Amino acid sequence: MDYSLEPLEERHRQPVIDLFNDYIRLSHAAFLTEPVDYQFFDHFLNLSRGYPAVAVRSAEQQVVGFAFLRPHHGAEAFRRAAEITCFIRPEHTRQGLGTAILEVFEEQARRLGIDSILACVSSKNPESLNFHRKSGFQECGRFLKVGRKFGEDFDAVWLQKRLDQPG
């Protein structure tokens, strides 16, 4: 793999937000409907504080993705569950990056006492749904037609990977 994972930091602000805005403008993967400004990066840093967060660099040293875990819920009772956010430039998918990120996050999550990783994916994003299912996530809930983007309704599909169970 000609990519590297590095801790998500201030120096990633512009390429991360540019990538996120591409997903906002072009896909159902990002749930926002309007591009965000560069200050939105602070939101990502705040959400992921104390949790693993990475930028993905290509061999050419371009930031081609980012990912982080964050609390699923603010209440202490839910401390053992984290949500994952991951965006990789489409031309860099299917290179093993998502799997590499997930392996790192699972190891770090266990050390934090997290035994469930959750993902909320648009029903209009079959690539992400397939990736999560192939990576051991199971659908655990679906909110029907709760989202609307590009004039289309979509379901919010919740997936869960239990880290305390084999495979």
Indicate the domain borders of the chain: 3-119
Q: Is 137 in contact with 159 (CB distance < 8 Å)?
A: yes
The pLDDT assigned to 167 comes to 54
The pLDDT assigned to 122 comes to 98
Residue carrying the six token digits 């909320």: 120
Mean pLDDT, range 103-124, rounded to an integer: 98
The pLDDT assigned to 15 comes to 98
Is the pLDDT at 107 greater than 90? The verdict is yes
The pLDDT assigned to 136 comes to 96
Q: In angstroms, what CA-CA distances link 43 with 17, 99, 111?
A: 11, 25, 24
**Residues in the chain, total:** 167
Give me the architecture of the 3-119 domain, per CATH: 3-Layer(aba) Sandwich (3.40)
The pLDDT assigned to 164 comes to 85
Q: Which H/E stretch holds residue 109?
A: helix 97-111
The pair of structure tokens assigned to 54 is 């990475």
The pLDDT assigned to 166 comes to 62
Close Cβ partners of 144 (under 8 Å, ≥ 6 residues apart): 155
The pLDDT assigned to 68 comes to 98
Using pLDDT thresholds of 50, 70 and 90, give the confidence band for residue 116: very high
Closest CA to 89 of 136, 57, 117, 119: 57
pLDDT over 70 percentage in the chain: 98
pLDDT in tens, 34-93: 999 999 999 999 999 999 999 999 999 999 999 999 999 999 999 999 999 999 999 999
pLDDT over 90 percentage in the chain: 96
Q: Using the 8-state DSSP alphabet, how is residue 33 labeled?
A: S
Residue carrying the six token digits 């991360």: 16
